[in-house]
Amino acid sequence: MFSVTTKPGVCLAGREPVIERLKRGYVEGRLDNAELELRVGLALTAQTRLELERLVNDLPRAGAHGGAGALSVRRRTLQSALLITIVAMIAAAVIAYLEAALIAAGMSLHLIQ
């Protein structure tokens, strides 16, 4: 009788590096939570080393170059989205201020009808 972690062909020690690569892929933004959970589950039930390798063959190995490039692209995208949000908020505040100033002066600004 074998447990999930002691199936023939793959021992727990063989699964640990794969699970660590999956976790690293999640932290780097390469896997979402659902994909991480799925792949870890498959790693725990894998019966061969080939099954384990298939779970991480699209992820860079530890110390491999190229991971930083994908991460920096994601970081730049997030920074751009944040900048656009800030500019939009400032523009809305300026419009609200100008409208309040015009109303106080007895005028009206109708930008949205």
Q: Could you read off the pLDDT of 13-37 as tens digits, one per residue?
A: 889 999 999 999 999 888 889 999 9
Tens of pLDDT, residues 35-45: 999 999 999 99
Q: Please compute the mean of the pLDDT values over residues 66-81 and round it to a whole number.
A: 70
Global pTM reads: 0.49
Q: Please compute the mean of the pLDDT values over residues 59-78 and round it to a whole number.
A: 68
CA distance 85 to 41: 38
